[in-house]
Structure 1
């Protein structure tokens, strides 16, 4: 420390003293860190992988786990009473607790139950580039320090920085677009779609409000919904429509392309968003070219099912209307017939998205 001074009264004399704290000696886990990174490298994006390797190319620091202080979580270790837990060391136990809480806070299970290796779970990280150090090194060491007790990350999906007016989002400079303000002006599904489409997956991208407002997806989606309405006009919705072999093959090809967008190895919301828009326009324009109405309806249902993770409100309304959106059923069983359904529309203007 250079020229340290008292924070409350600069005139006070600063006194140095030694303290015994709990630390994490990360260098001791270098071999295990390197082996793990080599094993998962194919499931990392290039830029964060390069940073992780650069971090391992130099000596790894000793990280404090506890230190003297009063603001924070009190250290739960008898020998370090009066200290607090280093905030960045909280991330891993906090993640374990959050997983336990998300499963309904089962009183008969410990907080770390869902992270234990014997549960045969698959762990995938989703984070930003500024947290590569923590998730790929420090927090991984926290897992490694427990031997084989816990699962280790199978894949890491890391985004670059997202910019606003070609500058980093910054809450301190109030250079932000807050989620609540965004969905007050733009239907939630459209906002989520645009954010997916422009996600900074491999390089920085820019949030453009004018581009968001002018995006044609809602109009094209609703035109497709009108085509579905025309196709089903006068039909008995209790009478399923047959699906041909040709329709099933075409549908399987589309499902495979969309499924790859959500697999850990090839995860890409931006690619999924582009495919959704392309397929929406294609189905709108080629409905008459399908061999059978059931083939067309099957293609629309697959588009709807794979759009649901992004277009959450459309997906919810479809499910509430009885549409089968199960992805496992679509790939594990042969669809002989499909029940007629209406494609929920996307709101095209503010105030209609509820």
Structure 2
């Protein structure tokens, strides 16, 4: 047991080189061990390679992993016990993860190949952007607002179309498609989904990853296309000819000088095209608003927003931004769109301006 404790302490020290504190390092180590134990339980098509644990009878392997998982996030003793329950191949993988984390500052999400996002397990791969909790916050608020104003309206004749620009891993598009797509109305049991989502990204690798996430999660009412927002012809081929009722985007918004100061775990691993956007970080946001004003991206009001009994303001556009330095100019850009009647900024839980939102009414 003393040798096991020493091995765990050495791993915590390695993780600390990237995590910054013993507490964070210990948490990262627990998450890595949790992932290894979960892989014993998941269907074999997720991880086809055989380990000593995978050769155990399925019920014994699962029961052993579940027992270790039940206490893993408790005491230090539980961490040591969980580590001792790993087989040789799992320990070698854990050592490799610790080395990549400490020497190369590879993000933990890339090591584990997943990141939770509003209840969905999103597969992530470098260099496609890792979903952040700040994004998760405003998307959850947006879903709540859309539900309040639009969901389950019996007079709906067509699905609400949502456009997700700079879609990346597809986390926003898939969360919207999953959480907004209610059950068919009893009077229309074979009706189409109430919401359909189109995701667009400049990166072929990002689009391939978004489609993998879509298939793995079984979300049918979404589609993904590659297109460069600065190329009108590419964009036109990717868009629905009748336009969209709601537009969302987590665009690149980091100013050029600020990008140079980012941590190695971000700058060395995540796609610069998904992060940096000109001198003030607003270059692509201006491009998006220009497309809307020139109607190369058509925004159209939903049927329900035109009715007098509308239960609440209906979002037309939501853009993630980089704090208060960008909020006022982004609000001004949204107010330049003729269809937008009101615009506001949403803050994240840390009190930073995080999303600029424009409304139909």
Same fold at TM > 0.5: no
TM-score range, shorter chain: under 0.3
TM-score after normalising by structure 2: 0.25
TM-score after normalising by structure 1: 0.26
Larger Rg: 1
The structure showing larger relative contact order (alpha-carbon pairs under 8 Å, at least 6 residues apart) is: 1
